[in-house]
Amino acid sequence: MITTETDIKQLVKDKYSEIAEQSKESNAASCCGVGGCATVDYAVFAEEYKDLKGYNPDADLGLGCGLPTEFAQIKEGDTVVDLGSGAGNDCFVARAIVGEKGKIIGVDMTETMIEKARANAEKLGFNNVEFRLGDIEKLPITANVVDVVVSNCVVNLVPNKKAVMQEVYRVLKPNGHFSISDVVLRGNLPDALKNDAEMYAGCVAGAIQLEEYLQIISQAGFSNITVQKDRKITLPQEILTNYNLQELPTDSGIYSVTVYAEKTACDPKSGCC
């Protein structure tokens, strides 16, 4: 039974270490990317990357729930950070936008994912894409140096989401911004779904209500908070049946959202205003 933040983080780390060793096809066909049970199929959440410039199939493990780089307003020469960078999928797409003059930093807490991402970058010959081992609640990045932060279906897995948003705010330059795709809830999700450990690693049980999610972003100091994309997830009957459900209540559901927010040029936290 998962009871503490440490337990949750270890569960997620263990799951994603296993996922790193599998193909996209294997992950999409199995429970939580690993094993043989039938709780979460990542294909339910994933978006299609193949038509995006910079896409590299070796880096695509089929784990995302959106396409944050499409909405992130990344420019040539930008410094971009990807939270929970996995095998490097979003980093390589972002690199195609920033070009040779930009810089991409991927951060992931799973050693196996970092190794896989670095190997992919080396094969591609990129010298402006790097991957750093670390927690996104305590980013291994200097303050006020990043133009854009992106993330794809990762923040929901972190118990301390407030710490994540505070760290995003810290590393962004004044006038910097983020575009983050994540899984959120609306209404009441049955406890049987929400509390299951494997559903946690599959993005659902770690998700919070959309209103709470947006409030955490606002409390971190961000402005111009905008939901750029909002997609309801239709769970296969196989998953619902596993939890003795015919369907979710009409007033509740699981959603993939992409949220944008800005760090203001004048930061009250630094006493400039």
Residue-by-residue pLDDT tens, the chain, 273 positions: 445 767 666 666 666 656 656 655 555 544 333 333 344 444 455 566 777 788 787 887 777 788 899 999 999 999 999 999 999 999 999 999 999 999 999 999 999 999 999 999 999 999 999 999 999 999 999 999 999 999 998 998 888 999 999 999 999 999 999 999 998 989 877 776 666 545 544 556 678 899 999 999 999 999 999 999 998 887 777 777 777 777 777 778 888 899 999 998 765 554 444
Look up tokens 């929400």; give the residue: 194
The confidence score (pLDDT) of residue 190 equals: 72
Residues whose CB falls within 8 Å of the CB of residue 243, separated by 6 or more in sequence, listed in order: 190, 192, 193, 196
The confidence score (pLDDT) of residue 213 equals: 97
Strands, sheet with 146-152, edge to edge from the N-terminal-most edge strand: 129-133, 103-108, 79-83, 146-152, 172-186, 253-262, 223-232
What is the pTM (predicted TM-score) of this model?
Answer: 0.83
Residue ranges of domains in the chain, CATH in brackets: 5-265 (3.40.50.150)
Q: Which of 91, 131, 128 is closest to 115 using CA atoms? A: 131
The confidence score (pLDDT) of residue 45 equals: 56
Element (H, E) at 68: helix 68-71
**DSSP letters of 71-114?**
HS---TT-EEEEET-TTSHHHHHHHHHH-TTSEEEEEES-HHHH
Tell me the C-alpha distance between 220 and 172, whole Å: 12
The confidence score (pLDDT) of residue 36 equals: 38
Tell me the C-alpha distance between 116 and 175, whole Å: 33
> Residue-wise over 77-96: b if at least 16 C-beta within 10 A, else e?
ebbbbbbbbbbbbbbbbbbb
**DSSP letters of 2-44?**
--SHHHHHHHHHHHHHHHHTS-HHHHHTSGGGSSS-SS--GGG
